[in-house]
Amino acid sequence: MRRMFVALIALALLGMPEARAVQPDEIMADPAKEARARELSRELRCMVCQNQSIDDSDAPLARDLRLLVRERIAAGDSNSQVLDFLVARYGEFVLLKPRFERQTLLLWLLAPVLLGGGGLALWLQIRRRSRSGADIPMPPLTPDEKSRLAALMSDDATSR
């Protein structure tokens, strides 16, 4: 805990030097907790980056968030508690996997609805059409096409 705060302060004092994704000094001693931290990091957005998770990002803010996640895990939070904590602080924007709620209903339901609805509609249509019998004949050839075909055929005959 204390070391993390020292690291944070040192970071602030040094005017945010460049850092790359997860740094050696961030890693937690307990591998199980570290694995949880990595897993959570992949679901959290670095808010100053373009669509990067804090696990991938080298921005100083991402580092702060990674440390915060580890701090909460060390304090005994469950995964969902950590996420709740971050959403309370930074809003839904921080989640790379949007929660299933009113505003995201359309997003989450799109694939199953389209797949189910589209599949059913197609199945019914194909079955109806294949039962209704008669095939629609191909459109007749235009005079242009007929003369072209004749030319092709005669050409074929001469070349063989």
Partner 1 sequence: MIAESGHYALVLALGLALIQSFVPLIGARLRDPALMNVARSTALAQLLFVGASFAALVMLHVSSDFSVANVYENSHSMKPLIYKITGVWGNHEGSMLLWVSILALFGGLVAIFGNNLPLSLRAHVLAVQAWIASAFYLFILMTSNPFLRIANPPIEGRDLNPVLQDIGLAVHPPMLYLGYVGFSISFSFAIAALIEGRIDAAWARWVRPWTLVAWIFLTLGIAMGSYWAYYELGWGGWWFWDPVENASLMPWLAGTALLHSALVMEKRNALKVWTILLSILTFSLSLLGTFLVRSGVITSVHAFANDPTRGVFILLILCLFIGGSLSLFAGRATSLKQGGLFAPISREGALVLNNLLLTVACAVVLFGTLYPLAMEVLADFKMSVGAPFYNLSFVPLFALLLLAVPFGPMLAWKRGDLLGVTQRLLAAGVAGLVAVAVAWGWARGGSALAPLAIGLGIFVIAGAVTDLAERTGLFRLPFATTLHRARGLPRSAWGAAFAHAGLGVALLGIVCETTWNSEYIATMKQNDVAHLAGYDLKLDGLFQRQGPNFREMIAEFNVSRDGETLSVMTPSKRSFTTRGSSTTEAALLTRGASQLYISLGDVTAEGAVAVRIYHKPLVLLIWWGPVLMAFGGMLSLSDRRLRVGAPKPARAKQSLQPAE
Applying CB under 8 A, the residues found at the interface with partner 1 are 17-25, 27, 42-43, 45, 50-53, 56, 91-98, 103-104, 106-108, 110-111, 114-115, 118-119, 122-123, 126-127, 129-130, 135-139, 144, 147-148, 151-152, 155-156, 159
Q: With respect to partner 1, which residue has the nearer C-beta, 50 or 80?
A: 50
As measured in angstroms, the least distance from the Cβ of 64 to partner 1 is 16
10 within 8 A of 60, measured Cβ to Cβ: no
As measured in angstroms, the least distance from the Cβ of 135 to partner 1 is 5
As measured in angstroms, the least distance from the Cβ of 1 to partner 1 is 21
For residue 16, the 8-state DSSP code is -
- Long-range contacts, 150-158 (Cβ 8 Å, 24+): none
As measured in angstroms, the least distance from the Cβ of 114 to partner 1 is 5
Residue written as token pair 């944070």: 8
Q: Give φ, ψ of 95 to 5 degrees.
A: -90, 125
106 within 8 A of 63, measured Cβ to Cβ: no
Q: With respect to partner 1, which residue has the nearer C-beta, 5 or 123?
A: 123
Please list the alpha-helical segments (H only) found in the chain: 2-13, 31-41, 60-74, 79-90, 105-131, 143-159
Spell out where 51-141 has E strands: none
What amino acid is encoded at 24 in this protein? Answer: P
As measured in angstroms, the least distance from the Cβ of 148 to partner 1 is 6
Q: With respect to partner 1, which residue has the nearer C-beta, 63 or 72?
A: 63
Q: With respect to partner 1, which residue has the nearer C-beta, 75 or 124?
A: 124
Q: How far apart are CA 66 and CA 84, in angstroms?
A: 15
Q: With respect to partner 1, which residue has the nearer C-beta, 2 or 158?
A: 158
